[in-house]
Amino acid sequence: MLQRSVVHNVLKSFHRLMATRSMLVESTSHIQTAKPFKDIPGPRGVYLWPVIGAFLHFKPFTKFTTESNHTLIAELLTKYGPLIKVRFGRLMVIVSDPKDIETVYRNEGKYPMTASFDIEEMIVRRTSSPVKSITLAQGEDWHKLRAPINKLLMKVDSATHYLEPHNQVANKFVDILATQNLKPQELQTLFARYAAEGAGLVVFNTRLGFLEGQLSEELSDFLDAAKTLFFILQDVILGKSVGHRWYKSKTYQDYARALGIIGGSCAVHSLKAHQVLEERKRAGTLTDEEPNLLLSLLKEENLQRADVDTMLISLYTAGAESTAKILETLFYNLAKNPETQEKLRQEIFRKLNTRDHVTATDLANMSYLKACLKESFRLCPPVCNTMVRLLPIDVCLSGYTVPARTPIMIYPNAKCISGFQDSLTYMPERWLQNNGLAKHDPLAKIAVLPFGLGPRNCAGQRIAVQEIYLATIKVLQKMRIELHPESSDVEFVYRIFLQPKVPIHFKFTSLQKY
């Protein structure tokens, strides 16, 4: 049996290697007959000029803002086709066809390269002790930072190690919803507090207190700084903010200030976590088997203390902000579709009844819950313009040559909405196994990529999804999610992550009142 297993695994690896090699050969062979890069459709003339080209896409020259860039990109794709060349800060191509997206991911190489944020590069150059981001690292430097995280957070069961404390965080979240009559802005902040508490628990191995009474000044400042950080990054990515490249503009100063607040907050929690580790070592109560991200990273021989702190900051900040927005959007879709919400509630009651502790087995068996989240991802893609790759080789996309190291923005959002039957309908059933879509539709496999794909995907995705599942389960066990009339049709915008333009006015009603 062992020999058969080994042979089977070797054959699987060989076939996977040959399939990948075939894809590479196919992609590069098409280059010989492909049209040149200069002929890729897209805005021409002054729109391709450095610096000024990006500005011309937005107000006051057009109706678009950086927050509504998804509508701009959709309009450009409609006008010019599935592959376009455009200047957003830097000259890039945008791919929206699933076949092209697959080609990009299959050719990104061992160390995928992504376009870094130039405002962070400026901070690194201008400061003597910068708070660096893992997004700046490339090649082997990136792999050195990412590999330890993969071992800890990308395994199938990695999130379940935190299931017990995450249950407690979700219980507290529901208690607040059930006992406090929160205004829309307060509700939006509560989503952020819940997500930050869950992320902090994983990163610093302790509860930080985001859900305990009045927020401390330090925790409140962190939430505000994270919001500011991603708001500014949106302008930077799209080339709407460029002054920071040459001088310390207001944008630069605001970003540096926000980064400093986040770095300071993380330093406080990191120091406390290190102290706890040392105390437990002396007391002999620390075991290698327990799930402890910080301990595991510190044991990595190739990582310095500064490297560890860098990764903690990235996981904590991005995890808190993205999870909050995804959860808020899912709740909105469930509130807009009460029949779907009730069907999900029935699944929850079949598995749990009124039991408030959710196990890994419970989560594994809730297929409709998973379908509801995936359909929310399809209808409301969480990110718009951050999945950018720089390939190590020339490739052929939609019949055009794209040279190596050209920034390629992966934009599946257009196909997420337009490429499916009843595309504007929130219909989780399309993702159930007996529907067959997930198995047989090639669009379904590549169009919905909320966390990216390949080695450089979102490292904290399993943790984020677990937090979202738990909050949804526990809320629906006790309450109905509804909308006040003014939030019946919400406009969403992108500030890196998708979010409502104004806070959603939810109505959470106890099931006992029906």
Residue 341's contacts (CB-CB under 8 Å, 6 or more residues apart) are 334, 335, 476, 480, 481
Listed residue (452, 433, 478, 320) closest to 377, CA to CA: 452
Strand 407-410 to 90-95 pairing: parallel
Listed residue (141, 255, 237, 205) closest to 495, CA to CA: 237
Contact (Cβ atoms closer than 8 angstroms) between residue 382 and residue 322: yes
How far is it, in rounded angstroms, from Cα 320 to Cα 313?
11
| Helix, strand, coil share (%) of the chain residues, nearest 5 | 60, 10, 30
Using alpha carbons, list the distances in angstroms from residue 27 to 20, 410, 419.
Answer: 11, 17, 24
Using alpha carbons, list the distances in angstroms from residue 91 to 74, 148, 238, 496.
Answer: 18, 33, 11, 19
Helix axes 367-379, 305-336, angle to 10 degrees: 90
Contact (Cβ atoms closer than 8 angstroms) between residue 146 and residue 454: no
Using alpha carbons, list the distances in angstroms from residue 459 to 39, 300, 328, 456.
Answer: 37, 17, 21, 8
At residue 95, φ and ψ (nearest 5 deg) are -110, 135
Strand 395-397 to 400-402 pairing: antiparallel
Neighbours of 150 (CB within 10 A): 14
Q: Which token pair is 441?
A: 């539709």
Residue 182's contacts (CB-CB under 8 Å, 6 or more residues apart) are 176, 190
Q: Is 458 annotated as a binding residue?
A: yes
Residue with tokens 């079949």: 350
How far is it, in rounded angstroms, from Cα 15 to Cα 265?
48
Helix axes 184-204, 250-283, angle to 10 degrees: 50
Contact (Cβ atoms closer than 8 angstroms) between residue 369 and residue 333: no
Q: Which residues are annotated as a binding site?
A: 458
Q: Which residues are annotated as a binding site for heme?
A: 458
